């Protein structure tokens, strides 16, 4: 449980993110400034800088929260369940039960694919997820750090492949089905 001050900060971050996203979708990211985002969110430019390093950071903000949620969810899966199965179960649950999160992933991925600066911020957040997820895999399965890193990296690469296919090819299948298909392929031997 966080204190009132932390909840207020989180609410402001979320409001600024939503404002930045709305403006970027309406006008295009190149046509939106930090000053315009701050004004539309009802905060000063200085306050904006207290929360985010730039408009790209504001646009990708939920990725950081979701990283923590995914890592925590994998950590709390039943003991004895292999880490790969735990990661699949967590993502399956998110994708099947939280349409808003999936739509957010799609919007932010589209923006990242069109704007290298957003892609750079997103890749930084994904690297943090990869590191944290590898730590949980090592804890859960008692494997060495290299094996844990390979599992976490392969899993996240599978997710990126699936989401990009779904978005770029405008597939009509549910994203959960595409994720399952890609992760099934990831489990097959390479030789």
Residues 138 and 156 grouped into a single domain: yes
Residues 15 and 71 grouped into a single domain: no
23, 36 contact by CB (below 8 A): yes
Number of domains in the chain: 2
Residues 31 and 60 grouped into a single domain: no
59, 17 contact by CB (below 8 A): yes
Residues 76 and 105 grouped into a single domain: yes
How many Å is the Cα radius of gyration of the chain? 18
Containing domain of residue 4, as a range? 1-52
User: Whose CA is closest to 135, among 189, 188, 181, 67?
Assistant: 67
Give the model confidence (pLDDT) of 155-164 as tens digits. Answer: 999 988 998 8
Give the pTM. Answer: 0.78
What CA–CA distances, in Å, run from 33 to 79, 119, 144? Answer: 48, 18, 46
**CATH number reported for the structural domain that contains residue 21 in this entry:** 1.10.10.60
Give the model confidence (pLDDT) of 93-125 as tens digits. Answer: 888 887 787 788 788 888 888 888 888 888 888
């Amino acid at each position: 449980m966080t204190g009132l001050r932390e909840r207020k900060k989180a609410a402001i971050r979320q409001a600024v993110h939503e404002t930045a996203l709305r403006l970027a979708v309406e006008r295009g990211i190149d046509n939106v400034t930090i000053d315009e985002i701050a004004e539309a969110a009802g905060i000063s430019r200085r306050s904006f800088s207290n929360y985010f390093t730039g408009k790209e950071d504001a646009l990708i903000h939920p990725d950081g929260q979701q990283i923590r949620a995914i890592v925590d969810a994998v950590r709390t899966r039943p003991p004895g369940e292999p880490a790969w199965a735990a990661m699949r179960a967590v993502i399956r649950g998110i994708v099947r039960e939280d349409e808003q999160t999936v739509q957010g992933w799609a919007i932010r991925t589209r923006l990242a694919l069109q704007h290298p600066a957003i892609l750079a911020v997103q890749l930084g957040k994904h690297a943090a997820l990869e590191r944290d997820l590898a730590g949980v895999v090592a804890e859960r399965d008692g494997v060495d750090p290299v094996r844990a890193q390979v599992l976490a990296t392969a899993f996240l690469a599978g997710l990126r492949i699936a989401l990009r296919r779904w978005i770029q090819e405008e597939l009509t299948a549910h994203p959960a089905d595409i994720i399952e298909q890609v992760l099934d392929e990831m489990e097959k031997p390479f030789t």
